[in-house]
Amino acid sequence: MCDAQEDRLTLVYKAVGRGTRLMTELVPGQLLDALTGLGNGFDLTRARGEVVLAGGGVGCAPLFLLARRLREAGRKVTAVLGFNRAEEIFYEEAFRALGARVLIATMDGSRGTKGFVTDAMPEADSLYVCGPLPMMKAVWKKARGAGQYSLEERMGCGFGVCMGCSIQTAGGSRRVCADGPVFTGEELLWND
């Protein structure tokens, strides 16, 4: 989920499987059944000082609503957005319109810093991360364990009953759909 305002919900997705390919066939006004409000979200009350949002690919999408809420709370925000190449970049100007500083990293160097999100990421007092697991692990290493990380995991039921999205954490087995998807860096076991 990228944004939510009044009666409008904005979703950003990449067509990679049957479900997301079907979503490309949706038309405006079409009704959908959706489960929302599952699990937890980022904890904005922990935001202190220099707030950095680090996102990779489609993982940049949920950081937009977070940036909006942080800016509404008067926080200065830097969004570090990572993509494979310039053609994949989205929402750069939308983040700027919120008043966030935007840093871009592309793997091929076609835009912004050449390399990973971590190559463009400044020091942070507060860190919020969403993206592919290898990217989040690299951010965790650079940030020395700090921050909040939104995990993506295949889910069966979405309510924590099937245990299909369970992960091992410092506190034992946790369900991404019910106990997450946001965990602190200290909770996660990154399997170094």
The answer to whether the CB of 150 falls within 8 A of the CB of 77 is no
Q: 181 exposed, middle or buried (CB, 10 Å; 0-12, 13-18, 19+)?
A: buried
Count of alpha carbons within 13 Å of 82, Cβ hemisphere only?
23
Per-residue confidence band for 192, with pLDDT thresholds at 50, 70 and 90: low
Query: What whole-number distance in Å separates Cα of residue 134 and Cα of residue 35?
Result: 28
First to last CA, the chain: 30
Per-residue confidence band for 28, with pLDDT thresholds at 50, 70 and 90: confident
Q: Which residues on adjacent β-strands are paired with residue 64?
A: none
Query: What whole-number distance in Å separates Cα of residue 96 and Cα of residue 111?
Result: 16
Average pLDDT of the segment spanning 52-70: 96
How does pLDDT run across 128-164, given as a tens digit for each residue? 999 999 999 999 999 987 899 999 887 778 888 888 8
The answer to whether the CB of 129 falls within 8 A of the CB of 54 is yes
Q: Which residue, 89, 93, 134, 133, is CA-closest to 110? A: 89
The continuous run of DSSP H or E covering 64 comes out as helix 61-72
Identify the structural domains of the chain with CATH numbers, from first to last.
41-148 (3.40.50.80), 151-192 (2.10.240.10)
